[in-house]
A and B are shown apart, each in its own frame.
Chain A
Amino acid sequence: MTDTVRTSAPSAAAARHLRRRRARDGRFRYYGLTAIFVALGALAVLVLTIGTQAFSAATYNVVRYEVTLDPAVIAPEGANRPADISRNVEGFYGLVRDNLLKTFPEAEADRVSRRELSDFVTRLAVLPTARLVANNPELVGSTITLTAPLNDDLDLYLKGQGVRERKIKAGAVSSVQGGQDGTFLLSGTGAFEAVVAGLAVASVDRAEDAGQPDVLLTAGVSTGRLSDIDAGSARMELLTGRAQDFAQARATARIILSAESERTISDRQIAWVLALREMGRVDRVPRWTLLTNSDSTYPELAGGLAAIVGSLLTMLITALVAMPIGILAAVYLEEFAPRNRLTEFIEVNINNLAAVPSIVFGLLGAALYINFLGMPRSAPLVGGLVLALMTFPVVIIASRAALKAVPPSVRSGALAVGASQMQTVFHHVVPLAAPGILTGAILGMARALGETAPLLLIGMVAFVGDVPRSPADESTVMPVLIFSWSNNAERAWEPLTSAMIIILLAFLLVMNGLVVFLRRKYERRW
């Protein structure tokens, strides 16, 4: 063995070892970064999908109707009986329907099309106007502009979501000839070339069993349905408006990819809603009703007010019960209780309680509060108590951690000047731990705010159309409302659900912001 071997071999090994160590460090950093990016990416995807969905529900289409408040229709009992007026939904609805029928007289022709036109507005949509007139009786007899939200399916169609269609600019139509069967022959050199090409593309996209796509042609307020289309001519069945509108006009063709029987809206309804928009009677406005209306079976009228109030009442009960109990228990366990088997047992079980699935608390609440104590079903009172049971182990654990973090020197300083143990705790330790205690309490409340499962079991899932006035009233809460809405079949509920989720997230964000604020404001160094 020579010296060179003895000195170089260990150092080469050491160099290899060092290289491996550095590589391990580097790899670990990359794992960490990857983990962070995956987490952030998931969050971004979540917010984006919910956000875009919710964005479409943030506005909705309303239609303006010029109606004359005929006393005979809306106040048959006299204008001085506001209660009757506000309840006279049928009368106001009649005015709206008559206005629509006057705008589109062709709907008078048969019952089906009359019904299709009446579907534009739900009866209950006139309720705000009825209340307005009831409160201002001087309006009776005058002509007002009544605004009512458009039916949810048509609303979705106008937002481009309900029906898959392809818009194509048609060429100039040179002549319109009426036929004996009420249809019109439109012709013009190459007028429908683009439409024929579009149809060819569409037939490739479509499934085999789907029916023939409908082609609608719109010029101004007039719309017709095309058939027998070739490059230079097509037969048109007029749906609304006048056939002359198409002459010399460059009309817009819409290839609607699903057959009429598969859709929730008919060709005629599409024609009418396009006409209303062309007349400038449709406005897309912010949907404040999401915050000011309560739940409804009609998506265009539904809002979350009752659930928001229900959530606030429930949180109030939870806070009133869980925070004092949790904080006092934590202070006692941390500062006063002797360390022995009993307190250890209690400690372990508080931790166990925090890990119990929330639905079990719902069962407990149903059995204890409703069946045994006879409290009202579906009430925020019971919901709050159930959530309090669920929250207070969290509060205890967070508060104990905060109390533990107060340095012992503060305690001995206070004891050394002759403070009693209780004075030490309440004059010095608890004030110092307060930001931490509040943080824990608010985070526990935020978790309770988002809780659904236990509330289903105590009946808070019921449909609630009225804003609860007290914690004993029937009520629901935001997450349960989201759950109920997501179970609804109609497509319009989808963006509404997302919008409600955004509102819930906003509440949670406010609570978390409060936590950060409190911590920044009251955190003290020692």
Chain B
Amino acid sequence: MDTTQGTPAMMDDTLTLPRSADGAQRIDCRNIKVFYGQAQAIHDVSMSFPDRAVTALIGPSGCGKSTFLRCLNRMNDTIENCRVEGEILMDGENINDEDVDPVLLRSRVGMVFQKPNPFPKSIYDNIAYGPRIHGLANGREDLDAIVEKSLRRAGLWEEVKDRLTAPGTSLSGGQQQRLCIARAIAVQPEVILMDEPCSALDPIATARIEELIDDLRSRYCIVIVTHSMQQAARVSQRTAFFHLGNLVELGDTNQIFTNPREKRTEDYITGRFG
């Protein structure tokens, strides 16, 4: 067991440098600080997210992992008093720049929430809403095709193809969450953020979502916040452990779970706190 205690600055260097096997980094975060009013929620976090891989953010409640996730599509903009400092580079462009339109950014970075939140509209309209407002479809047939493709990718098509006009809220919890994933991928994002997507679901629905995440990995950069260590171990290739607003450790999932370098990571993973 590695017991070296690094200072945060040292960690940053060691943590951002190693690249994942899949190569290209999709998002590169540098010195992210988040404040709610006077209180600092994230302390100087730097990390990057590889393309075509799942990165899991774990840590005890209130450690800032969801806040950090919401920086990646600037959802923190909608929270009053919330201030984000630092650079988040996507394709070499800092998304925190004044001239970046958060609306366009969010069409590139999709998001799935903790509680399934389909719109109180039909299943079809749930998927079609994003493409419609972004003008991604030319005509009805094009839109139908997008809806079908998105639902197929989310593994929901076979279950709902006969009742596309039924309200999205009439589906079961797991189906609703897959509908939300389909809704997110319908706008053709590059990154999908998932904020504890299975915490409101039963084990069977959870298993289906995890399979789905594994499928989606081949196309997207996926970042998932989870409270379940087993889930992080099952679906992710990279894992980051947050504690009290600090990024404590980042590494390949195997390494984090079998051979954590930090004492705090080990304590958390073995259930000694959190």
**Is chain B a partner of chain A in the same complex?**
yes
Task: State the A residues within 8 Å of B (CB).
Answer: 338-339, 407, 409-420, 423, 427-428, 432, 524-526
Which residues of A lie under 8 Å from residue B107 when comparing CB positions? 417-418
Complex interface: chain A residues within 8 A of B78 (CB): 411-412, 415
- Residues of B within 8 Å of A339, CB to CB, are 80
User: Could you show 30 A-B contacts with beta carbons less than 8 Å apart?
Assistant: A338-B80, A407-B117, A409-B115, A409-B117, A410-B120, A412-B75, A412-B78, A413-B117, A413-B180, A414-B129, A415-B106, A416-B106, A416-B110, A416-B111, A416-B112, A417-B133, A417-B184, A418-B103, A418-B107, A418-B130, A418-B133, A419-B130, A419-B133, A420-B103, A423-B133, A427-B133, A524-B120, A526-B117, A526-B120, A526-B169
Judge whether B113 is part of the interface by a CB distance below 8 angstroms. yes
Q: Known contacts A419-B133, A423-B133, A525-B169; is A410 also within 8 Å of B115 by CB?
A: no
Taking a contact as CB atoms closer than 8 A, the residue among B110, B113, B186 that contacts A409 in the complex is B113
**Chain A: which residue is nearest B180 at the CB level?**
A413
- CB <8 Å contact, A418 and B119: no
The reply to whether A432 and B120 form a contact with Cβ atoms under 8 Å apart is yes
Contact B113 A419 (CB under 8 A): no
B134 within 8 A of A: yes
Does B209 make an interface contact (CB < 8 A)?
no
Contact call B117/A410, Cβ cutoff below 8 A: yes
Distance between B225 CB and nearest chain A CB, rounded to angstroms: 14
Q: Which of A414, A416, A427 has the largest count of B CB atoms less than 10 A from its CB?
A: A416
Bound complex: CA A427 to CA B120 (Å)? 11
Contact of B184 among A416, A419, A526 (CB under 8 A): A416
Bound form: Cα–Cα A519–B111 in Å: 32
Main SS of chain B's interface residues? helix
Q: Which residues of A contact B184 (CB under 8 A)?
A: 416-417
Assuming A409-B113, A428-B119, A524-B120, is B133 touching A415 (CB within 8 A)?
no
User: Quick check: B119 and A414 within 8 Å, CB to CB?
Assistant: yes
Chain B residues whose CB sits within 8 angstroms of the CB of A423 once the complex forms: 133
Partner of B113, one of A412, A427, A428, A525: A412
Contacts of B117 in A (CB 8 A): 407, 409-410, 412-413, 526
- Given B104, B112, B180, which contacts A418 in the complex, CB threshold below 8 Å? B104
16 further contact pairs, Cβ within 8 A, besides A413-B117, A418-B104, A418-B133: A411-B78, A412-B113, A413-B113, A414-B129, A416-B75, A417-B106, A417-B107, A417-B130, A417-B184, A418-B103, A419-B129, A427-B129, A427-B133, A524-B169, A526-B120, A526-B169
Q: Which residues of A contact B183 (CB under 8 A)?
A: 413, 417
Count chain B CB atoms within 10 A of each CB in A409, A415, A525 and give the residue with the most. Answer: A415
With a cutoff of 8 Å between Cβ atoms, the chain A residues found around residue B112 in the complex are: 416
* B 113-149 to A, binary, CB cutoff 8 A, 1 in contact else 0: 1010111100000000110011000000000000000
Residues of B within 8 Å of A407, CB to CB, are 117
Residues of A within 8 Å of B80, CB to CB, are 338-339
Complex Cα spacing A423 to B135, Å: 14
User: What is the distance, in angstroms, from A450's C-beta to the closest C-beta of chain B?
Assistant: 35
Say whether A418 contacts B106, CB under 8 Å.
yes
In chain B, residues 151-187, which have Cβ atoms closer than 8 Å to a Cβ of chain A?
Answer: 169, 180, 183-184, 186-187
Residue pair A417, B169 in contact (C-beta under 8 Å): no
B73 at the interface (CB under 8 A from A): yes
Q: How far is the CA of A413 from the CA of B187 in the complex (A)?
A: 13
B133 / chain A contacts, CB cutoff of 8 Å: 417-419, 423, 427
Chain A's closest residue to B111 (CB) is A416
Query: In the complex the two chains form, is A416's CB within 8 Å of B134's CB?
Result: no
Set of chain B residues within 8 Å of A411, measured between Cβ atoms: 78
B residues within 8 A CB of A428? Answer: 119
Contact of B119 among A338, A410, A420, A525 (CB under 8 A): A410
Closest residue of A by beta carbon distance from B117: A409
Q: Which 5 A/B pairs are nearest by Cβ-Cβ distance? A: A418-B107, A409-B117, A417-B130, A416-B111, A418-B106
A434 to chain B, nearest CB (A): 12
Bound CA span A315–B110, Å: 47
Contact A417 B113 (CB under 8 A): no
**A417:B187 contact, CB within 8 angstroms:** yes
Complex: how many Å from CA A117 to CA B106?
89
Q: Which residues of B contact A417 (CB under 8 A)?
A: 106-107, 110, 129-130, 133, 183-184, 186-187
> Closest residue to B108 on the A side, CB-wise?
A418
The smallest C-beta distance from A172 to any residue of chain B, in angstroms, reads: 84
Point out the residues of chain B lying under 8 angstroms from A412, CB to CB: 75, 78, 111, 113, 117
CA distance A338 to B78 in the complex (A): 11
Report chain B residues within 8 Å CB of A338.
Answer: 80
Chain A contacts for B187, CB-based, 8 A: 417-418
Q: Report chain A residues within 8 Å CB of B103.
A: 418-420
Chain B residues 76 to 111 lying within 8 A of chain A, measured CB to CB, are 78, 80, 103-104, 106-107, 110-111
Query: Hey, which chain B residues are within 8 Å of A432, CB to CB?
Result: 120
Task: Chain A residues near B169: list those with CB within 8 A.
Answer: 524-526
Nearest CB on B from A403, distance (A): 15
Interchain CA distance A265-B246 in the complex, whole Å: 97
CB of B170 to closest CB in A, whole Å:
10
The residues of B that contact A410 with a CB separation of less than 8 Å are 117, 119-120
Within the assembled complex, what's the spacing in Å between the Cα atoms of A412 and B66? 14
Nearest-neighbor residue (CB-CB) of B127 within chain A: A417
Interface centre among B73, B75, B119 (most CB of A within 10 A): B119
